[in-house]
Each structure stands twice: as C-alpha cells, then as structure tokens.
Amino acid sequence: MNMKKISSKMTVYYKVLYPVFWFGFLAIFSLASLLGSIFGGEGGPGPWFFLFPVFMALFGYVLFKHLVFDLIDEVYDAGDFLLFRNSGTVVKVFLKDIKNVNYVAIGSPRRITMIVRHETELGKELSFAAPASANPFKKSKDVAELIDRIDQARSAESS
C-alpha cells in the first residue's frame, strides 16, 4: 500500500519548538526584569513591567491551545482512507466517513480540520497542519484534490 504524507513536516516546530521559544523568551525577559529591579536601584523597571510577560504568557497559551496544541502529528493519504498518527495513537478514517473539511490556507500554520461521522480516539474534529507553500496565497492542489475525492466517496455511498 502506497501512502502519501499530507501533513506538514513542520508540525513538531509548531507544537514544540515555537512554544518553547515563546515561553523561554518570556522567562528570560521576566528574570532580566526581576534582576534589574533588584540590582538596578531606583532606576529599575516598575511593577507594571512584570505584568507584560504574564499577559503575553496567557495570550500565548490561549493562542497555542486553539491553533497549535490540537494539531495531529502526521496524516497519510492511503487512497480510500486517511491514517492519523498522534502521540502513539493511530486512527484510520475512510473518506466516506468525513462529513466536512475546513481548509484555512492563509495563516501559520495552514490548518485542515476534518469532522468525521463517528467519534475516534482522537475525537470527531481532526486538525492537522497542511504542508507549507512558497506562495502563501495559493491553495494546495493536493488538498483540493483530496476534498474532491472525499466528496466523490460520500456521493458514491449515498447512491
């Protein structure tokens, strides 16, 4: 069986490295602010300076939770079904069992969310990052072709 990977190779970057850089920078910024206020004397940063990293950490967490942390690690197209792999869990979803596909081509990461008919071990909404493109405004031909195949599979089942 020939399977083609249709998820981004950058998923690890989105889910792990970028949050580590985000929260790491905020930790360093907070530590520098704290040390500046302790050793800086009267000219050190005021208390408002500590609220900024807290606000940015909360903002980052909410943003990552809704856009990144729910991304599935790997998705493979095997013809009449898709194989989803996430943290050791593997789920097989037939194209005919996909109710809806939402593809957000603009943004980072490009997201594909599929709503399936039946609850899976990964839930009913399966989201993954689409492969990046050199042109950020161009929709993926592979994704458009996959959406057409899903539509054909659903049509064949209903007739």
Query: What are the pLDDT digits (tens) for 17-70?
Result: 999 999 999 999 888 877 777 776 666 666 667 788 889 999 999 999 988 999
What letter does residue 9 receive in the DSSP assignment? T
Q: Greater confidence, 78 or 41?
A: 78
Asked which of 24, 50, 67 is the last residue of a domain, the reply is 67
Q: Are residues 78 and 63 in the same domain?
A: no
Which residues share a beta bridge with 75?
A: 84
The verdict on residue 109 lying in a domain is yes
What is residue 45's predicted lDDT score, i.e. its pLDDT?
65
Query: What would the pLDDT profile of 100-159 be if each residue is shown by its tens digit?
Result: 999 887 777 889 999 999 999 999 999 999 887 777 777 778 888 999 999 999 888 776
Pairing verdict, β 81-86 and 74-77: antiparallel
Q: Are residues 82 and 13 in the same domain?
A: no
Q: Are residues 25 and 53 in the same domain?
A: yes
Q: Are residues 78 and 154 in the same domain?
A: yes
Burial 129-152 (b: 16+ CB within 10 A, else e): bbeeeeeeeeebeebeebbeebee
Nearest Cα to Cα of residue 142 among 109, 101, 108: 101
Q: Are residues 82 and 118 in the same domain?
A: yes
Q: Are residues 86 and 117 in the same domain?
A: yes
The verdict on residue 81 lying in a domain is yes
Domain count, the chain: 2
Q: Are residues 86 and 153 in the same domain?
A: yes
Range of the domain at 48: 8-67
Q: Are residues 59 and 95 in the same domain?
A: no
The verdict on residue 3 lying in a domain is no
- CATH number of the structural domain spanning residue 126: 2.30.29.30
Answer yes or no: is pLDDT of 7 > 70: yes
| Run of H or E including 116 | strand 111-120
User: Three-state DSSP class for 74?
Assistant: strand
pTM, to two decimals: 0.81
Burial class (CB in 10 A: 0-12, 13-18, 19+), 128: buried
What is residue 71's predicted lDDT score, i.e. its pLDDT?
94
